[in-house]
């Protein structure tokens, strides 16, 4: 959740007031001047840097006393002094007049934050931590500084030359977006950044002429694995497609943090299913995907985990192929791998588990039909997806087919996320422990000696709860 709403304020030719004459005030004044502001200063004494700005006529010093009348015509106030009563007085006066005010290093008295800035004029990137960790904002700024070409502003200025011409030529917003993607990602963008504007103009005009006569775009569906929940586990290709999709079709197992990585203006369609509550049938989802692709959209069908591991991805591929729709699969980290890594449980082990079996605990037509004798074999790990609802059936059948009652079992709810909870027990006890823990979210069940191995190896792995029960 955002701590503050990000907004760029135009200061060109407008008045800004700085209270304080310290070196810290000098840094803020320089930023304001670079944005074209007319800066007035209130301070009893000033440092050498501030004094030089005054002597150069770049700042107007209006004395050392603050009064509310001094806020008339001011669009921004920055307080950079150590006088706490003065800080509070200026902050209150500014906020009563609805004038944005920033008190340096005092978020409680500030109605706006001064971000860490990456300036590639006219491209500006601002980073804020809501006043909680300015040093972290500076670290992020340094990372972005390294990532963005120093001449990126050339590309923005170059695009501005052709913006209106492109808008008149390509009336449909999606067509313009695709065009600019090709400009920025390809040779034209590279030429503009390198300063070869003549060649870049020639290439862009040629590309625009071709785009004018292009046929309607052909739609495509990407089946993308969203991983088990942690957004850092998303693949680079999945992230790139999320940034380029026209439409994102997603389900309940996709975490909000992963969905937040999508392009903000993409249409989002929720087709999630909850236990015993299906929003859309699989046939309806298939028809929706086909219709979107046939309308020329780039569609990302975002699925929790991996789309081809208990995600009905195979059914969607078949339906799309029958309709003649191009489909691409982008794998994701399936829940078994993500949850095992998060909990420190090895799925295989030379001494304890020579195989690993993935099965679904979701019954078909109300009946759970599995190869129970195979699942009850020793020296293997059994991972059951969506196994919470059918846990009583699983434990009863495995015990009946010879698996020892003392076999370790781990239940991992919302694995890899901040909401992750873990409950450990045995085949004989896990059902009651799950009931006491009141698990509700997506839960993975892991059965085998490797669960006990992880617990005995590392006493810090507590399978009671990651967040407290």
420-446: pLDDT as tens digits:
999 999 999 999 999 999 888 889 999
Q: Which residues are catalytic?
A: 251, 273
What stretch of H or E contains 59? Answer: strand 59-61
- Which ranges of 19-170 does DSSP label H, i.e. alpha helix? 23-34, 48-55, 84-96, 134-147, 152-169
pLDDT at 39: 96
Radius of gyration of the chain (CA): 30
Contacts of 172 (CB under 8 A, 6+ apart): none
The conformational region for residue 416 under phi > 0 = left, psi -120 to 50 = alpha, else beta, is: left
Structure tokens of 431? 């059902």
Range of the domain at 99: 15-114
CA 138 vs CA 3, 117, 133, 142, 356: distances in Å: 18, 8, 9, 6, 45
The count of C-alpha atoms lying within 13 angstroms of the C-alpha of 335, restricted to the half-sphere facing its C-beta, is 31
pLDDT at 366: 61
| Residues pairing with 349 in the sheet | 353
Structure tokens of 299? 């569609």
Residue 73 lies in a domain: yes
Residue 464 lies in a domain: no
CA separation for the pair 399, 406 (Å, rounded): 10
Domain shared by 247 and 227, yes or no: yes
CA separation for the pair 41, 18 (Å, rounded): 5
Which ranges of the chain have pLDDT less than 50? Answer: 276, 458-469
Q: SS3 of 381, please?
A: strand
Cα angle for residues 308, 174, 199 (degrees, 5° grid): 110
Domain shared by 357 and 448, yes or no: yes
β-pairing verdict for 443-447 and 421-426: unpaired
Domain shared by 205 and 267, yes or no: no
How many domains does one find in the chain? 4
Residue 96 lies in a domain: yes
pLDDT at 457: 53
* Domain end point (choices 286, 313, 333): 333
The CATH number of the domain holding residue 299 is 3.40.1010.10
Residue 258 in contact with residue 234, Cβ under 8 Å?
yes
CA separation for the pair 238, 228 (Å, rounded): 14
Residue 465 lies in a domain: no
DSSP string, 195-252: T-HHHHHHHHHHHHHHHHTPPPPPPEEEEEE-BSS-GGGS-HHHHHHHHH-SEEEE-T
pLDDT at 453: 80
Q: What is the pTM of this model?
A: 0.72
pLDDT at 213: 77
pLDDT at 277: 52
Domain shared by 260 and 320, yes or no: yes
* Domain end point (choices 333, 354, 374): 333
Query: What's the order of all strands across the beta sheet hosting 298-303?
Result: 267-270, 247-250, 298-303, 220-225, 326-330
Residue 34 lies in a domain: yes
Nearest Cα residue to 124 out of 42, 209, 61, 34: 34
pLDDT at 467: 37
Q: How many CB atoms lie within 10 A of CB 387?
A: 25
Residue 69 in contact with residue 52, Cβ under 8 Å?
no
* Domain end point (choices 333, 364, 392): 333
330-358: pLDDT as tens digits:
999 999 999 999 999 999 999 899 999 99
pLDDT at 133: 87
């Amino acid at each position: 959740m955002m701590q503050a709403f990000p907004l760029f304020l135009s200061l060109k030719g407008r008045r800004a007031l700085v209270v304080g004459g310290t070196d810290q005030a000098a840094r803020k004044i320089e930023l304001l001047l670079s944005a074209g502001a007319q800066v007035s200063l209130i301070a009893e004494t000033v440092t050498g840097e501030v004094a030089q700005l005054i002597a150069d006529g770049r700042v107007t010093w209006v004395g050392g006393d603050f009064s509310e009348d001094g806020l008339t015509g001011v669009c921004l106030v920055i307080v950079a002094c150590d006088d706490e009563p003065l800080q509070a007085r200026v902050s209150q006066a500014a906020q009563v007049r609805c004038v944005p005010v920033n008190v340096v290093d005092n978020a409680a008295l500030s109605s706006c934050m001064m971000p860490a800035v990456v300036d590639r004029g006219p491209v500006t990137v601002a980073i804020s931590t809501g006043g909680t960790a300015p040093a972290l904002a500076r670290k992020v700024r340094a990372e972005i500084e390294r990532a963005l070409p120093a001449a990126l502003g050339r590309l923005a200025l170059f695009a501005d030359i052709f913006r209106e011409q492109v808008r008149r030529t390509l009336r449909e917003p999606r067509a313009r977006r695709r065009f600019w993607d090709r400009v920025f990602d390809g040779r034209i963008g590279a030429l503009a950044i390198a300063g070869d504007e003549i060649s870049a103009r020639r290439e862009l005009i040629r590309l625009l002429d071709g785009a004018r006569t292009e046929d309607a775009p052909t739609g495509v569906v990407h089946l993308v694995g969203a991983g088990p929940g942690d957004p850092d586990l998303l693949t680079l290709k999945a992230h790139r497609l999320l940034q380029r999709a026209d439409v994102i079709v997603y389900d309940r197992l996709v975490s909000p943090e992963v969905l937040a990585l999508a392009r903000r203006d993409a249409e989002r369609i929720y087709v999630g299913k909850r236990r015993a509550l299906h929003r859309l049938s699989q046939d309806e989802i298939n028809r929706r995907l086909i219709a979107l692709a046939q309308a020329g959209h780039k569609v990302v069908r975002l699925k929790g985990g991996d789309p081809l591991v208990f995600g009905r991805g195979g059914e969607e591929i078949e339906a799309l192929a029958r309709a003649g729709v191009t489909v691409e699969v982008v794998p994701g980290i399936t829940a078994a791998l993500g949850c095992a890594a998060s909990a420190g449980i090895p799925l295989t082990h030379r001494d304890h588990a020579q195989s690993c079996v993935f099965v679904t605990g979701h019954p078909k037509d109300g009946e759970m039909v599995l190869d129970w004798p195979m699942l009850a074999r020793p020296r293997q790990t059994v991972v059951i997806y969506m196994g919470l609802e059918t846990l009583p059936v699983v434990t009863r059948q495995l015990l009946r087919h010879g698996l020892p009652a003392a076999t370790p079992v781990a239940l991992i709810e919302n694995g890899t996320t901040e909401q992750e909870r873990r409950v450990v027990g045995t085949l004989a006890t896990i059902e009651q422990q799950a009931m006491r823990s009141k698990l509700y979210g997506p839960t993975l069940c892991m059965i085998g000696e490797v669960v006990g191995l992880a617990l005995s190896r590392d006493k810090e792995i507590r399978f009671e709860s990651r967040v407290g029960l």
